[in-house]
Structures are given as C-alpha cells and as structure tokens.
Amino acid sequence: MPLTLSVRCPHCGSTDTELLSRFSSTACKALRRCVACREPFDHFKEL
C-alpha cells in the first residue's frame, strides 16, 4: 500500500488539498488547490 502524505495549504493551513497537475512551472513542483479556501499553490514533490 503506497504511503500518502497530506499537503498543507500555505494560505489557510488546511490539509484538504487536491492535485491539479503533476507538473507546475518546473518538473520538481506540482500544482495543487486547497479545497477549503480554493487557492492554488505550488508544492515541491518528495523524492
């Protein structure tokens, strides 16, 4: 079973986020959106 880490929103602190794109402005970042505040944000991928 794969381990799923929750990603915290940098705007409101919620861990209820969704993946919008596996790649953002660079290959090492993913584009996510917070379900609570609806703000998009970049997230550095784990290795």
* Residue 13 neighbours by CB under 8 Å, 6+ apart: none
What residue type is 35 in one-letter code? V
Please state the pTM of the whole predicted model: 0.81
Check whether 47 has a pLDDT greater than 90: no
Count of structural domains within the chain: 1
**What pLDDT does residue 5 have?**
74
Structural domain boundaries, residue 44: 1-47
Give the separation between CA 22 and CA 43, rounded to whole angstroms: 10
- pLDDT, one tens digit per residue, over 1-45 is 555 678 999 999 999 999 999 998 899 999 999 999 999 999 998
Residue 31 tokens, joined? 């584009």
